[in-house]
Amino acid sequence: MSYEAHFRVWRGDAVGGDLQDFSVEVNEGEVVLDIIHRLQATQAGDLAVRWNCKAGKCGSCSAEINGRPRLLCMTRMSTFAEADMITVTPLRAFPVIRDLVTDVSFNYAKAREIPAFAPPKGVAAGDYRMEQIDVERSQEFRKCIECFLCQNVCHVVRDHEDNKDAFAGPRFLMRIAELDMHPLDEMDRKKQAQDEHGLGYCNITKCCTEVCPEHIKITDNALIPMKERVVDRKFDPLVWLGSKIRRRENV
Amino acid sequence: MDDRELQRHRYDVVVIGAGGAGLRAAIEARELGMRTAIISKSLFGKAHTVMAEGGIAASMGNVNARDNWQVHFRDTMRGGKFLNNPRMAELHAKEAPDRVWELETYGALFDRTKEGKISQRNFGGHEYPRLAHVGDRTGLELIRTLQQKIVSIQQEDMRDHGDYDAMIRVFAECAITDLLLDGQRVAGAFGYFREAGDMVLFEAPAVVLATGGIGKSFKVTSNSWEYTGDGHALAMRAGASLLNMEFVQFHPTGMVWPPSVKGILVTESVRGDGGVLRNSEGKRFMFDYIPDVFKKQYAESEDEGDRWYTDPDNNKRPPELLPRDEVARAINSEVKAERGSPHGGVFLDVSTRLPAEEIKRRLPSMWHQFKELADVDITKEPMEVGPTCHYVMGGVEVDPDTAAASVPGLFAAGEVAGGMHGSNRLGGNSLSDLLVFGRRAGMGAAQYVDSLGGMRPAVRDSDLDDVMGFALQPFETDVGENPYEIHQELQQAMQDLVGIIRRPDEIEDALARLEKFRERAARVKVEGHRQFNPGWHLALDLRNMIIVSECVAKSALVRQESRGGHTRDDFPAMDAEWRKVNLVCSHPTGSVDVAVVQQPVLTIRADLIALFDKAELAKYLTEAEMNALPEGDLTS
Q: What is the pLDDT of residues B202-234, one digit of tens each?
A: 999 999 999 999 999 999 999 988 999 999 999
What pLDDT, on a 0 to 100 scale, did the predictor assign at position B615?
94
- A240 confidence band (pLDDT: 50, 70, 90): low
Q: Whole-angstrom Cα distance, residue B370 to residue B366?
A: 6
What pLDDT, on a 0 to 100 scale, did the predictor assign at position A251?
42
Least confident of B347-356, B424-433, B589-598: B589-598
Q: Whole-angstrom Cα distance, residue B537 to residue B532?
A: 8
What pLDDT, on a 0 to 100 scale, did the predictor assign at position B3?
45
Mean per-residue pLDDT for A117-139? 97
B116: which chain A residues are within 8 Å (Cβ-Cβ)? 129-131
Tell me whether residues B148 and A116 touch, CB distance under 8 A.
yes
Name the residue in chain A with its Cα closest to that of B136: A143
Tell me whether residues B484 and A45 touch, CB distance under 8 A.
yes
Instruction: Give A62→chain B minimum CA distance, Å.
Output: 13
A29: which chain B residues are within 8 Å (Cβ-Cβ)? 257-261, 373-374
Contact B251, B390 (CB under 8 A): yes
Contact B62, B118 (CB under 8 A): yes
CA proximity to B127, closest of B275, B301, B272: B272
CATH number of this structure's domain A3-102, picked from the four choices 3.40.50.2020, 3.30.70.20, 3.40.190.10, 3.10.20.30: 3.10.20.30
* pLDDT at B402 > cutoff 60: yes
Give whole-number Cα distances, B47 to A57, A59, A132, B225, B260, in Å.
10, 11, 28, 11, 21
Asked if B502 reaches chain A (Cβ–Cβ under 8 Å), the answer is no
What pLDDT, on a 0 to 100 scale, did the predictor assign at position B591?
82
A108: which chain B residues are within 8 Å (Cβ-Cβ)? 44, 172
CA proximity to B514, closest of B480, B476, B540, B553: B553
Name the residue in chain B with its Cα closest to that of A96: B195
pLDDT per residue as tens digits for the range A149-180: 999 999 999 989 999 999 999 999 999 999 99
Q: Name which of A40, A56, A145 is nearest B372 (Cβ-Cβ).
A: A56
Asked if A243 reaches chain B (Cβ–Cβ under 8 Å), the answer is no
What pLDDT, on a 0 to 100 scale, did the predictor assign at position B271?
94
CA proximity to B151, closest of B52, B30, B47: B30
B226: which chain A residues are within 8 Å (Cβ-Cβ)? 52
Tell me whether residues A29 and B535 touch, CB distance under 8 A.
no
Q: What average pLDDT is seen over chain A?
A: 93
CB contacts under 8 A, A 6-45 vs B, are 13, 27-31, 34, 40-42, 44-45
pLDDT per residue as tens digits for the range A197-213: 999 999 999 999 999 99
Q: Largest Cα–Cα distance in chain A?
A: 74
Contact B248, B566 (CB under 8 A): yes
What's the complex ipTM? 0.92
| Sequence-separated contacts (24+) of B620-629 with Cβ below 8 Å | B620/B81, B620/B82, B620/B293, B620/B574, B620/B576, B620/B579, B621/B82, B621/B576, B621/B579, B622/B576, B622/B577, B622/B579, B622/B580, B623/B576, B625/B576, B625/B580
What pLDDT, on a 0 to 100 scale, did the predictor assign at position B579?
97
Cis ω before B259 (30° cut-off from 0): no
What pLDDT, on a 0 to 100 scale, did the predictor assign at position A238?
64
Beta strand pairing status for B410-412 and B501-502? unpaired
A128: which chain B residues are within 8 Å (Cβ-Cβ)? 101, 104-105
* pLDDT at B4 > cutoff 60: no
Name the residue in chain B with its Cα closest to that of A53: B224
- Within B355-471, strands assigned E span 383-392, 395-396, 410-412
* pLDDT at B99 > cutoff 50: yes
Least confident of A86-95, B85-94, B485-494, B527-536: B527-536
What pLDDT, on a 0 to 100 scale, did the predictor assign at position B259?
84
Number of H helices, E strands in chain A: 10, 7
Give whole-number Cα distances, B207 to A43, A82, B23, B254, B516, in Å.
38, 51, 13, 34, 32
Q: Whole-angstrom Cα distance, residue B585 to residue B601?
A: 15
Residue B451: exposed, middle, or buried by beta-carbon count in 10 A (0-12, 13-18, 19+)?
exposed
Contact B175, B537 (CB under 8 A): yes
**Residue B513 identity:** R
Q: Whole-angstrom Cα distance, residue B280 to residue A87?
A: 42
**Pairs across A and B, CB distance < 8 A:** 178
Tell me whether residues B534 and A59 touch, CB distance under 8 A.
no
Q: Whole-angstrom Cα distance, residue B239 to residue B241?
A: 7
* pLDDT at B494 > cutoff 90: yes
* Conformational region of residue B431, where left means phi above 0, alpha means psi within -120 to 50, and beta covers everything else: alpha
A138: which chain B residues are within 8 Å (Cβ-Cβ)? 109
* pLDDT at A249 > cutoff 60: no
Query: Domain boundaries in chain A?
Result: 3-102, 105-249
Contact A102, A186 (CB under 8 A): no
Residue B342: exposed, middle, or buried by beta-carbon count in 10 A (0-12, 13-18, 19+)?
exposed
* pLDDT at B182 > cutoff 70: yes
pLDDT per residue as tens digits for the range B271-315: 988 999 999 999 999 999 999 989 999 999 999 999 999 998 899
CA torsion sign for B146, B148, B152, B158 is positive
Contact B428, B100 (CB under 8 A): no
Q: What average pLDDT is seen over chain B?
A: 95
Asked if B223 reaches chain A (Cβ–Cβ under 8 Å), the answer is no
- Within B133-173, strands assigned E span 168-171
- A241 confidence band (pLDDT: 50, 70, 90): low
> CB-hemisphere CA count at 13 Å for B27?
27
> CB-hemisphere CA count at 13 Å for B262?
15
Contact B327, B286 (CB under 8 A): yes
Beta strand pairing status for B185-193 and B199-203? antiparallel
B14 phi/psi in degrees, rounded to 5: -115, 125
What pLDDT, on a 0 to 100 scale, did the predictor assign at position A247?
53
Q: Whole-angstrom Cα distance, residue B317 to residue B123?
A: 10
What pLDDT, on a 0 to 100 scale, did the predictor assign at position B1?
45
Asked if A111 reaches chain B (Cβ–Cβ under 8 Å), the answer is yes
Beta strand pairing status for B36-39 and B168-171? parallel
Asked if A79 reaches chain B (Cβ–Cβ under 8 Å), the answer is no
Q: Whole-angstrom Cα distance, residue B185 to residue B240?
A: 11
Q: Name which of A42, A48, A125 is nearest B534 (Cβ-Cβ).
A: A48
What pLDDT, on a 0 to 100 scale, did the predictor assign at position A234?
65
Tell me whether residues B224 and A101 touch, CB distance under 8 A.
no
Tell me whether residues A135 and B112 touch, CB distance under 8 A.
yes
* Cβ neighbours of residue B282 closer than 8 Å, sequence gap 6 or more: none
Other CB atoms within 10 A of residue B317 CB: 22
Tell me whether residues B225 and A119 touch, CB distance under 8 A.
no
Contact B583, B598 (CB under 8 A): yes
Residue B571 DSSP label = B
Name the residue in chain A with its Cα closest to that of B96: A126
Q: Which residues of B are catalytic?
A: 251, 271
What pLDDT, on a 0 to 100 scale, did the predictor assign at position A64?
98
Contact B243, B396 (CB under 8 A): yes
* pLDDT at A139 > cutoff 90: yes
CA proximity to A35, closest of A46, A50, A20, A22: A22
Give whole-number Cα distances, B192 to B41, B227, B410, B592, in Å.
10, 17, 20, 24
CATH topology of domain A105-249: Fumarate Reductase Iron-sulfur Protein; Chain B, domain 2 (1.10.1060)
Q: Name which of A28, A112, A128 is nearest B164 (Cβ-Cβ).
A: A112
Give ∠ CA B172-B176-B179 in degrees, rounded to 5: 140
* pLDDT at B175 > cutoff 80: yes
Q: Name which of B134, B151, B488 is nearest A112 (Cβ-Cβ).
A: B151
B383 phi/psi in degrees, rounded to 5: -90, 155
Tell me whether residues B484 and A28 touch, CB distance under 8 A.
no
Name the residue in chain B with its Cα closest to that of A61: B46
Tell me whether residues B224 and A179 touch, CB distance under 8 A.
no
Mean per-residue pLDDT for B365-378? 91
